[in-house]
């Protein structure tokens, strides 16, 4: 292990890590995208897509659960792939998920002012410029910038304040979910849920392909593993539970909102979830309450992913994959301060680019998340075969079967982003982002010493980088 990697403070309990993981997965998509999902696949079609998508992610989560219990180190995927696949495999897994994390952090800085706009439709003032057809106003951008500064400062001051904030926001979010469910029981109608299925397989795939991005967040637990104060077996279990909770949440949203709005009302809705809540309770105030729940979801996702992204960047820097100064902990707060400032700085800039460009970034990030899933499930299978006696406090039942299924399904999800598929990335924008990210990655890999897999792979990589050995040599 790299020097200094045990300097984090272990303060996170069961509720803390469950709130981090669940809050990361329940961002804003359930508010802003529900109408599109129901329109694309129908009520039961959308619910079924989330059930299957959640199952796929759950299988991947089972591989993570075993690995985090065996290697409870900051960096998650980075540590697993480095041990199982070597330095370059570790970099690919880390670089892929890092873009996904940064995309979420940046997008939440845009999602927040866009949501506030629903509550205050006249708040736009001070036109700045237009990006990809979206008019950016100073007042709109200021909301996202101010929140970015606040979230960054909260995390800079320590994991404990961030965890307390996360728990409070998640509890509020759950309260909104209970109100939505009660409203559906009292004021919903099964007749409103027609059509149950829409556009056949194509509509179903439109929803399914969104699930990797919507469910990403359970892996925040592995990223912060060195700050968890629990038996490692329990950490793995909570990770799996968090995926199950998120799956149930998205299914609940699809069924309740579809029971609230007719087909025509659904198509006319700006925010289907909020309009559905208002219809169920016959009160616009309740619709606004749901929007506040959406804001809570934005903040929980934002908070969790800035935790995850900063720990991943820290771990990559400690291993020599990124500049060393990103791998320094704050002497007082014991947080990766430099990494937090860089990532927070990106979120401060994000609102200045408007909504459309950030949507491209999110889609590109989603594809890269699947790349990380592929690498982790492959690592899981490799380590099961190569290191059968490795201590695994949480051992996934039927491990090889689960691993093969998770790998195959992750590869299947990756195919859905390719040209010609219903959910292909947009040319040239989204593919351009992916291409540029991996061109930079290729340069970094080329400069990386070739270190073979093994339990001491990180130590050997650090020694090779510090010794300035030429690329292509092993330590």
Q: Please report the pLDDT score of residue 170 as a whole number.
A: 95
**Spatial separation of the C-alpha atoms in residues 325 and 339, rounded to whole Å:** 8
Residue 131 burial (10 A CB sphere; 0-12, 13-18, 19+): middle
Between CA 1 and CA 88 the distance in angstroms is 17
- C-alpha distances (whole Å) from 465 to each of 2, 18, 472 are 12, 36, 12
292-329 burial, b if ≥16 CB within 10 A, otherwise e? Answer: ebbbbbbbbbbbbbbbbbbbbbbbbbbbbbbeeebbbb
Say what the pLDDT of residue 473 is: 46
Query: Global pTM?
Result: 0.89
Q: Which residues are bridge partners to 137 per DSSP? A: 127
- Which pLDDT value is given to residue 304? 93
SS3 130: strand
At residue 3, the pLDDT reads: 39
- Listed as ranges, residues in the chain with pLDDT below 70 are 1-6, 213, 422, 468-475
- The residues, ordered by sequence, that sit 6+ positions from 295 with a Cβ below 8 Å of its Cβ are 112, 115, 116
| Structure confidence at residue 422 (pLDDT) | 65
Cα–Cα distance, 410 to 420 (Å, whole number)? 18
For residue 4, what pLDDT is reported? 39
Distance CA 87, CA 463 (A): 12
pLDDT score of 36: 85
Cβ atoms 225, 154 nearer than 8 A: no
Identify the three-state secondary structure at position 12. Answer: strand
- Model pLDDT, residue 370: 86
CATH 3.40.30.10 fits 14-466, yes or no: no
Minimal CA–CA distance to 330: which of 1, 3, 7?
A: 7
In percent, the amount of the chain with pLDDT more than 90 equals 57
Q: Which of 110, 350, 366 is nearest to 215 (CA)?
A: 366
The helix-helix angle for 337-349 and 138-156 (nearest 10°) equals 170
Model pLDDT, residue 67? 94
Domain spans, the chain: 14-466
């Amino acid at each position: 292990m790299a020097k200094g990697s045990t300097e984090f403070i272990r303060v996170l309990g069961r509720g803390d890590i469950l709130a981090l993981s669940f809050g990361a997965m329940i961002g804003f998509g359930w508010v802003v995208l529900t109408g599109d999902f129901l329109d694309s696949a129908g009520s039961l079609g959308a619910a079924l897509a989330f059930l299957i998508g959640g199952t796929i992610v759950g299988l991947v989560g089972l591989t993570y659960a075993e690995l985090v219990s065996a290697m409870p180190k900051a960096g998650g995927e980075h540590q697993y792939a480095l041990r199982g696949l070597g330095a370059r495999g570790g970099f690919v897994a880390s670089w892929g998920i890092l873009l996904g994390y940064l995309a979420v952090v940046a997008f939440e800085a845009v999602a927040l002012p866009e949501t506030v706009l629903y509550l205050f439709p006249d708040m736009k003032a001070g036109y700045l410029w237009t990006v990809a057809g979206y008019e950016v106003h100073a007042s709109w951008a200021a909301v996202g910038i101010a929140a970015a500064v606040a979230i960054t400062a909260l995390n800079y001051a320590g994991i404990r304040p961030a965890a307390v904030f996360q728990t409070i926001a998640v509890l509020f979010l759950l309260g909104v979910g209970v109100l939505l469910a009660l409203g559906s029981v009292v004021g919903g109608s099964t007749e409103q849920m027609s059509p149950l299925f829409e556009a056949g397989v194509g509509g179903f795939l439109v929803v399914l392909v969104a699930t990797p991005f919507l469910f990403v967040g359970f892996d925040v637990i592995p990223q912060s593993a060195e700050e968890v104060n629990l038996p490692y077996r329990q950490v793995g279990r909570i990770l799996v539970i968090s995926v199950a909770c998120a799956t149930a949440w998205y299914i609940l949203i699809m069924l309740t909102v579809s029971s609230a709005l007719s087909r025509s009302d659904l198509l006319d809705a700006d925010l289907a979830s909020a309009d559905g809540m208002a219809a169920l309770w016959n009160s616009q105030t309740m619709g606004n309450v749901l929007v506040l729940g959406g804001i809570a979801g934005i903040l929980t996702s934002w908070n969790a992913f800035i935790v995850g992204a900063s720990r991943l960047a820290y771990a990559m820097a400690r291993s020599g994959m990124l500049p060393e100064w990103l791998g320094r902990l704050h002497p007082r707060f014991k947080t990766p301060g430099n990494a937090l400032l860089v990532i927070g700085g990106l979120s401060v800039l994000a609102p200045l680019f408007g909504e459309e460009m950030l949507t491209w970034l999110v889609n590109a990030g989603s594809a890269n998340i699947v790349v990380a899933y592929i690498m982790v499930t492959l690592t899981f299978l490799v380590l099961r075969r190569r290191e059968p006696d490795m201590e695994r406090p949480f051992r996934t039942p039927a491990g090889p079967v689960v691993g093969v299924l998770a790998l195959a399904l992750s590869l299947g999800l990756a195919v859905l982003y390719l040209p010609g598929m219903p959910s292909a990335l947009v040319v040239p924008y989204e593919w351009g982002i992916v291409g540029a990210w991996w061109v930079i990655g290729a340069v970094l890999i080329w400069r990386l010493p070739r270190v073979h897999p093994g339990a001491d792979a990180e130590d050997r990589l650090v020694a090779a980088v510090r010794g300035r050995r030429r690329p292509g040599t092993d330590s």
